[in-house]
Structure 1
């Protein structure tokens, strides 16, 4: 044994005894999945991205041989992206606000001016696209000129407090009842600044928002609201108040809104930005109008401000009227009653909304039984006996008449009398409409309605092809359904998803 070495062992002299020490094989590696390395709190040390659960003698960098290493550490992987940094910031703000419900935050403006926050805000504005504001500057023009330079210039304006918002451009879109809805479109720079402020202050208010609010909130939406309404109506809350607010966004009080924002935000510079956006004015036909009341629909920060404004209503109703369930999506809300008739709760509802300086639209407000049916968020709800057991009732949901008419109008507008484009060009416009419409309703009781929409689409396609090829024979109408599927038409019939 003296002087001899066996393969895989090393002799280490230690006094009279000689120990055999096997060569180390470094097989352990720190595997951190997703955002786990960047979580706030937990069992990690203060160094960012370091896994404290792995010993110092272990880790991917100690793996002998580059070829055997499965996860190579590169510079892009070692650095966090702007989105991850913003998520860490939002988690910290949310947890601080959740732990102390009465706390107000006074130092937020520096977080709005961070470059990573502005980068995430730009990404949100870019994905939403949108038209240009009064300055005529588009997203495409900024991308061609350079996004980084645009963000650095905006950051410099915010830091030096030289930033001033422009007036919003007033446009009108048709409403289902024939009237027109005014929209205010801010400039791209104002949209990015509003998105940055929303990124910072939204976690503070999300910690206080109630479970009955679903509109324009992260990880919540119309499907959750529809599901809860169906659940509560099935459980016996089958007397409904379908409430409509009259010109809600145009009647928001600036003074009351700022007071509600100050319950969480005390930074004077952030409050000053919100005031300036509210009072930026409206430009229509070259004439600038002052805005002393209301929040423009179309602004990035308006959905959050609308939820802040109606949050006292959610809080009051949850604490004082516990025998009902309120489901609110922005300014659309329903109250589901169980024991008492809906007329009992209307005086309280009107009284509290008057304190918020909001008016109830009496012409559109309805008090109905769920067996008669009501519409909400484009869905028709109706409680009726089940097929298997007539003694039991269930709340069935399907697309409302207005939703059916809306998709027919879109199909009709695409398949107009313009026969110059090819069938593929028409389908490139038609399929996204059908795909998006079916994705919203495919988990409801919509099989019959999907079949009707499919029949209408094939009918309009036959009429369009008949005009394009100038064929008037009746045999042209016997085109099989398989022909349209092979041609690339997105069929929605049979795409009902199973309910979880």
Structure 2
């Protein structure tokens, strides 16, 4: 659910700043084989820079400081024109600051190194990402799913299930690349970017500078990297996909792409769910000596499905050799293997996948993997301890909300495991025991006021309450068939976007006027939220409900207390001149006259009175 909302919001943002047509054009040109020699003009355009701020400001990482100690807050208060000029200056002579190295624990107990660039460098990377992504998307292989728009782990799992069960490819080549992100060859990567058609030498020099940026280690020492791309950088996932895209297409050329290059190729067609229809050319291929192999990849985690053990073993050695010779990437022999899914499990993206006999066929059975079960159990136990240590009712409510959010998150991700109900029942048993013994006053009866929780858990007899706060049941989850990515969905075509969301309902020209006429004395955050409000309010005054005139409307602060974030979206309203008079005029006779003129109902009058009370003005009589 959260992923879907994120997809929609990114498309909305591109529409706010009138960049969608540009991205569509880049995608179409890349698809037709065009090369791009002058991308810096688009990357450094004010609208692209403002869009980058919009896309970054909501990320959790935007509040994490790099080596310069600054966060998004230090940029959000800058006047818009000053902010744009600051970022444009970076592009003229780019010298990235040192990347901050931090280490976070992995599920297996080891530490994962992350590189956190400074906030200005993150804005620069976001500007580049927005322009490079549509070009690369046109060149990327269909069945790589990690860190790509409108794709998810669920899509990857769905395709993997289909290859094993429907296509009857029962042997899996598990390949583990040693420290992929730390071993990316810079020279090879820059050549791959050039091969994709990105031939703006200024841009390539900037990317090279990013890759060579010094890394500030936890002990304060600066290290100059000779290879690798830091995990944590905004551009790193795209660069990783560029590196492994060559592998995707090499595997595809061994089988799938052969159908398109045969002497008498058939037209490739698809079922509504995105699955490919088999034609006579596939029958001819199966009679050849070619090895049938299909790849499904999520970032650097990939599986290659084969029909026979012999094919799988030959494929393993061929891929190992290819990765080293072409990409200078080493494979871990200890962690890599060929798995017969009829006899053993294969782990992928937190799931254990296996085939089991059912009547005369083999069907997919999947479980939550052991590492994930251990991690979920620990996180839930920690949340129970947090609830137990709560001192006030407000703190209890906050910690229960955190517990519920974690439960919903893991249920949403792992519900595509066929045995998820059994797995989560096993996880829930000790957690429920801890809740019972650690927390006093747990009730079996109560009211679920939240509409979403009521719809999702209202029928469950496992619901519990702590005071008035509902505690959602960890074991109340059922298997959901994973969704395959529809081939129609594409963020860079109008038809593909129609599958995701409707275009903005408000007048686009009015939106563009607001975007192109920022209030120069106000911050970048204020002007960005001003544009958002116009869309959020459907182009209407928040008080009168009438259509706004963008040239005279006012972006009104509910409170001027800077400590409460007076430029935040929640603190702003777009008002017409009449709406402004209703909430801020001291002339009560004119205010009452306007209320009658616009026939404001009791709900709106209550809203007006809250705003007037905040401003210390006399209130209207309630209806």
- Does the Cα contact within 8 Å between 2:14 and 2:51 map onto a contact in 1? no
Give the equivalent residue in structure 1 for 2:574: none
Q: Which has the higher contact order (CA 8 A, sep 6+)?
A: 2
Superposed, 1:344-359 pairs within 5 Å as 344-355=314-325, 356-359=327-330
Moved more, 419-428 or 400-409: 419-428
Give the equivalent residue in structure 1 for 2:111: 180
- Does the Cα contact within 8 Å between 2:181 and 2:240 map onto a contact in 1? yes
Give the equivalent residue in structure 2 for 1:154: 86
- Does the Cα contact within 8 Å between 1:113 and 1:158 map onto a contact in 2? no
1:459 paired with 2:433, answer: yes
Distance 1:251 1:81 in 2: 34
Query: Once superposed, what is the RMSD of the aligned Cα atoms?
Result: 2.4
- Does the Cα contact within 8 Å between 2:464 and 2:473 map onto a contact in 1? no
SS of 1:270's equivalent in the other structure is: helix
Give the one of 327, 333, 337 matched to 1:362.
Answer: 333
Q: Structure 1 segments of 4 or more deviating over 6 A?
A: none
Count of residue correspondences: 405
Higher radius of gyration, 1 or 2: 1
Superposed, 1:1-12 pairs within 5 Å as none
- Does the Cα contact within 8 Å between 2:462 and 2:473 map onto a contact in 1? no
Give the one of 157, 178, 182 matched to 1:246.
Answer: 178
- Does the Cα contact within 8 Å between 1:82 and 1:116 map onto a contact in 2? no
Distance 2:227 2:130 in 1: 24
Q: What per-residue deviation string (whole Å, max 9, x for no partner) do you get for residues 258-282 of structure 1?
A: 0111111111111111011000110
Superposed, 1:191-210 pairs within 5 Å as 191-210=122-141
Give the one of 17, 25, 44 matched to 1:113.
Answer: 44
Superposed, 1:300-339 pairs within 5 Å as 300-322=234-256, 323-339=292-308
**TM-fit CA distance, 1:165:** 1.1
Distance 1:375 1:340 in 2: 18
SS of 1:404's equivalent in the other structure is: helix
Q: What per-residue deviation string (whole Å, max 9, x for no partner) do you get for residues 12-42 of structure 1?
A: xxxxxxxxxxxxxxxxxxxxxxxxxxx9xxx
**TM-fit CA distance, 1:202:** 1.2
**TM-fit CA distance, 1:170:** 0.3
SS of 1:240's equivalent in the other structure is: strand
Give the equivalent residue in structure 2 for 1:13: none
Give the equivalent residue in structure 2 for 1:402: 371
**TM-fit CA distance, 1:206:** 0.9
Q: What per-residue deviation string (whole Å, max 9, x for no partner) do you get for residues 360-394 of structure 1?
A: 011111211112111100011111123xxx22221
Distance 1:108 1:497 in 2: 46
Give the one of 328, 345, 359 matched to 1:373.
Answer: 345
Distance 1:312 1:425 in 2: 47
**TM-fit CA distance, 1:84:** 5.5
SS of 1:415's equivalent in the other structure is: helix
SS of 1:300's equivalent in the other structure is: coil
Superposed, 1:18-37 pairs within 5 Å as none
**TM-fit CA distance, 1:410:** 0.8
Distance 2:423 2:440 in 1: 26
Pick closer, same or farther for the CA change 1:249–1:147 going to 2, 3 Å.
Answer: farther
Give the equivalent residue in structure 2 for 1:44: none
Q: What per-residue deviation string (whole Å, max 9, x for no partner) do you get for residues 398-418 of structure 1?
A: 311111111111112222376
Q: What per-residue deviation string (whole Å, max 9, x for no partner) do you get for residues 301-322 of structure 1?
A: 0000011111111111111255
1:436 paired with 2:418, answer: no
Structure 1: give runs of 5+ residues left out of the alignment.
1-38, 40-79, 469-479
Structure that is richer in helix per residue:
2
Give the equivalent residue in structure 2 for 1:496: 478
Moved more, 279-288 or 253-262: 279-288
Give the equivalent residue in structure 2 for 1:258: 190
- Does the Cα contact within 8 Å between 2:182 and 2:230 map onto a contact in 1? yes
Superposed, 1:87-236 pairs within 5 Å as 87-100=20-33, 103-130=34-61, 131-143=64-76, 145-146=77-78, 148=80, 151-158=83-90, 161-235=92-166, 236=168
**TM-fit CA distance, 1:162:** 3.3
- Does the Cα contact within 8 Å between 1:327 and 1:334 map onto a contact in 2? yes
- Does the Cα contact within 8 Å between 2:172 and 2:306 map onto a contact in 1? yes
Give the equivalent residue in structure 1 for 2:313: 343
1:483 paired with 2:417, answer: no
Give the equivalent residue in structure 2 for 1:449: 423
- Does the Cα contact within 8 Å between 1:408 and 1:453 map onto a contact in 2? yes
Distance 1:126 1:497 in 2: 35
- Does the Cα contact within 8 Å between 1:167 and 1:282 map onto a contact in 2? yes
Give the equivalent residue in structure 2 for 1:72: none
1:423 paired with 2:379, answer: no
SS of 1:303's equivalent in the other structure is: helix
Give the equivalent residue in structure 1 for 2:206: 273
Pick closer, same or farther for the CA change 1:259–1:181 going to 2, 3 Å.
Answer: same
Distance 2:41 2:376 in 1: 46
**TM-fit CA distance, 1:481:** 3.9
SS of 1:328's equivalent in the other structure is: strand
SS of 1:209's equivalent in the other structure is: coil
Give the equivalent residue in structure 2 for 1:477: none
Distance 1:497 1:146 in 2: 49
Q: What per-residue deviation string (whole Å, max 9, x for no partner) do you get for residues 219-244 of structure 1?
A: 11211100000011002111111111
